Structure formats: structure tokens, C-alpha cells
């Protein structure tokens, strides 16, 4: 049974808090780009989401596969109808802290031998990538 790497999530959270909350700034959602909120612990609140689902599609516990999201976008990515998800995914390139598009994230995962073809098929079906992106990544492989 695979277990989520909570140490990695903790490191990403600490890094984001240290780097992106200077001068009282609040962390923003890497999907919608809106600031989240401050918790009772006086920290910016975000939820960490695997682009390629961890449990269903063996999504890697890797910083390229993990996004910091507001609770609303996190729920939307899990429960919104597939045909409505593309707009959410399109915003990730503009709002991500790493400034990486989904395609560049996937290329990075491929280069580290962390990406499988069935994971790409899931992302295509989920409207995270389009046919052109799917084919470009397959050509790299």
C-alpha cells in the first residue's frame, strides 16, 4: 500500500510559506490565483493537490505533481464535470509558483522517469491537457 509522502508536502508547504509570504502576503491559489486566508495558527491556508491523482492513478509524490490550491479550486478539480475543468487547468501556468505549465511539469516528470502513459491518458480525459500536448509528450517518450 502506497503512502503519501507527508514530509515532501511539509517541505513544499514550508518553502511556499517562507518564500511567498514575505511582508504579510497571503499564499495564493495556484489555480485561480486568488489569495487564500490566514488560519488560527497565523499561516496562509492552502490545500495540496496531486495533478495526477495519487491513489487512483499512481500519481507521483513529486513537487512537479503537487499544487497549492484554495479549498474551492481543490474541490472543483475533484468534483467538477470534466468539460468544465479545462478553464481551471489553463490558469495553472499563469498562477503556479514555479511558473511551469502543466506540459512542462509533465515533461519534467517524464525526464525523471515518473510519468506513465495511463497517467497521460487520465489527464487528457480530465481536460488537463489537450491532444496536441498529449502527442508532444508521447513524442518525447
CA dist 21 and 14 (Å) reads 10
Global pTM reads 0.90
Please name the helix (run of DSSP H) or strand (run of DSSP E) that holds residue 48, with its range, or none: strand 47-50
CA dist 52 and 61 (Å) reads 9
| Per-residue pLDDT tens listing for the chain (141 residues) | 788 889 999 999 999 988 888 777 899 999 999 999 999 988 899 999 999 999 889 999 999 999 999 999 999 999 999 889 999 999 888 899 989 999 999 999 999 999 999 999 999 999 999 999 999 999 986
Q: Residue 23: which region, alpha, beta or left (left: phi > 0; alpha: psi -120 to 50)?
A: left
Amino acid at each position: 500500500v502506497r503512502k503519501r509522502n507527508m514530509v515532501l508536502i511539509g517541505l513544499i508547504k514550508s518553502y511556499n510559506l517562507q518564500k511567498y509570504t514575505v511582508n504579510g502576503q497571503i499564499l495564493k491559489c495556484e489555480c485561480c490565483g486568488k489569495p487564500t486566508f490566514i488560519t488560527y495558527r497565523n499561516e496562509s491556508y492552502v490545500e495540496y493537490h496531486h495533478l495526477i491523482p495519487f491513489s487512483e492513478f499512481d500519481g507521483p509524490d513529486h513537487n512537479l505533481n503537487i499544487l497549492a490550491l484554495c479549498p474551492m479550486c481543490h474541490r472543483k478539480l475533484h468534483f467538477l464535470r470534466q468539460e468544465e475543468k479545462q478553464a481551471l487547468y489553463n490558469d495553472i501556468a499563469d498562477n503556479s509558483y514555479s511558473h511551469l505549465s502543466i506540459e512542462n511539469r509533465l515533461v519534467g516528470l517524464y525526464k525523471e522517469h515518473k510519468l506513465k502513459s495511463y497517467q497521460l491518458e487520465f489527464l487528457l480525459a480530465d481536460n488537463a491537457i489537450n491532444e496536441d500536448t498529449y502527442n508532444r509528450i508521447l513524442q518525447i517518450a
